[in-house]
Amino acid sequence: MRILLVEDNDALADGLSAILRGTGHAVDVVHDGTSADAVTATESFDLVILDLTLPEMDGLEVLRAMRARQNRAAVLILTARGTPEEKVRGLDLGADDYMIKPFDISEFEARVRMLLRRQAGLRSSAVSFGGVDLDLTSRTFSADGVPLDIPARELGLLEILFLRAGKVVSKEAIMQSLAAFDDDLSANAIEQYVSRLRKRLAPHGLTVRTARGIGYYLDKVVVAG
């Protein structure tokens, strides 16, 4: 999943982005409201973690502009501004959740998982397709109870396809979800990840099929006879 972190405190931004990247997410960081407004107008994110007291443009104005553009990314407000009036205003403007600094990291991680799960249209953290199971809490795949050893980028690709099983996902959407600003991710690299993923999934009755000229989708392998 791709996450935008909008935080003007460099130390906090570095710490939170490291935590999120450590769980396999593509994370972009900006430090002021004007940059956040520009980025959300041109890039797609699954989740925006938004401070309110920002240089150049207040976080609530960033949120207002996002929703005015029909931007449907989930938004978690993360701020020291915690009066009931501020909370109501943020939620009324379209935030999905609101946390007050200082906060507990484990609760922060749980809320991020909840919002990403909701964004994917899921109520449970356990998802199954064919003979493979995905635990969204730990972001691990398993087959018959045995964890699958999948490198980070391939795991990210499988998660994207798994959450949309049977539906075609365009190469552009995959690249947006997997790559942060400073990543060099090409269409050829995606093809390599797909090829490796097919080999890993073959023993478990799943494959990644190509919708020529469009993208890829996860499918079950039908065994003849």
**How far apart, in Å, are the Cα atoms of 80 and each of 9, 97, 107, 121, 159?**
12, 14, 16, 30, 33
User: CB–CB of 116/74 below 8 Å?
Assistant: yes
User: CB–CB of 16/49 below 8 Å?
Assistant: yes
Domain 2-119 CATH (choose: 3.40.50.12280, 3.40.50.2300, 3.40.640.10, 3.30.310.220): 3.40.50.2300
Domain limits, CATH 3.40.50.2300, in the chain = 2-119
| Euclidean distance between CA atoms 194 and 216, whole angstroms | 9
Q: pLDDT for 160-191, tens place per residue? A: 898 888 899 988 888 888 877 667 778 888 89
Give 142's pLDDT tier (boundaries 50, 70, 90).
Answer: very high
Give me the pLDDT at residue 179, please: 74
Q: pLDDT for 9-62, tens place per residue? A: 999 999 999 999 887 788 999 999 999 999 999 998 999 999 999 999 999 999
Give me the pLDDT at residue 83, please: 92
User: CB–CB of 63/95 below 8 Å?
Assistant: yes
**How far apart, in Å, are the Cα atoms of 172 and each of 158, 165, 177, 179, 185?**
15, 17, 9, 10, 11
Greater model confidence, 38 or 156: 38
CATH architecture of 126-220: Orthogonal Bundle (1.10)
Mean pLDDT of the chain: 90
| Euclidean distance between CA atoms 52 and 59, whole angstroms | 4
Is the pLDDT at 206 greater than 80? The verdict is yes
pTM tops 0.75? yes
Give 223's pLDDT tier (boundaries 50, 70, 90).
Answer: low
What average pLDDT does this structure show over 135-146? Answer: 85
Give me the pLDDT at residue 154, please: 87
Domain limits, CATH 1.10.10.10, in the chain = 126-220
Query: How many angstroms from the chain centroid is the CA of residue 225?
Result: 40
User: CB–CB of 56/31 below 8 Å?
Assistant: no
Q: With pLDDT > 90 as the criterion, what percentage of the chain qualifies?
A: 56
Is the pLDDT at 123 greater than 70? The verdict is no
